[in-house]
Structure 1
């Protein structure tokens, strides 16, 4: 599969036109429950789950564009939606949804001659869900 038309929405704002990359990563802590009965083998159980939404955007400072959408969200927990394609949600195009904390915003990045881009990572708050309908 080649990603050609990813969909990204943050706080109800479709940000696809600015998005170069959107990555959802989820993990679960491994908790060591090894005892002497484990006979020298480490045993683990799953603990707390967490996730992160990583994004790379092309910046736009114009009124009503990317920076004016994201700046006011700093410090807020807001909903997100990501899927591989902008087409309808289906078994081959699942929706990943949840809430993220906008814990930072990097409005200015780059060097002379670079495109104005923004790379950010937001921790999830609560469950991340996967839906196919």
Structure 2
């Protein structure tokens, strides 16, 4: 079994590579559980998969400079945009799959933290539509 340490994860939102700002990127996907248990199930619960959903959670180091993170993300508030994440910034392949889709930018926390903290932004965006996995 191959082991991996994330050293150069690739994160893009709305076609812009934000990897230089990202400290964490976590894409989660799930499927609703639909209970289809009947008396014929003989006391065992039976489940089917329902609607799929996902979420992209990101931790960024904030940057307020012109053309930097805050100026890229602020105009996206309230819009649905594309995303792409990969375990590594190298080319997409069987050992470096690309996950793509769309997310709703439903919030932005430009300023947060305490005295002495690094300026960070933690966000979590719901996916909108399908999430695809590609290896080529």
Q: TM-score, normalised by structure 2?
A: 0.97
How far, CA to CA, are the matches of 1:52 and 1:109 in structure 2? 22
State the Cα deviation string for residues 29-51 of structure 1 (Å, max 9, x = none): 00000000001111000000000
Q: Show the counterpart of 1:93.
A: 96
Matched, 1:56 2:55: no
How far, CA to CA, are the matches of 2:16 and 2:112 in structure 1? 22
How far, CA to CA, are the matches of 1:48 and 1:6 in structure 2? 28
Matched, 1:40 2:43: yes
Runs of 4+ in 1 over 3 A off after TM superposition: none
Gaps of 5+ in 1: none
Q: Show the counterpart of 1:120.
A: 123
Gaps of 5+ in 2: none
How far, CA to CA, are the matches of 2:41 and 2:77 in structure 1? 47
Match of 1:71 among 71, 74, 77: 74
Instruction: Report the alpha carbon displacement of residue 109 of structure 1 after superposing the two structures with TM.
Output: 1.3
**How many positions carry a matched residue from both structures?**
133
How far, CA to CA, are the matches of 1:44 and 1:12 in structure 2? 38
How far, CA to CA, are the matches of 2:132 and 2:47 in structure 1? 24
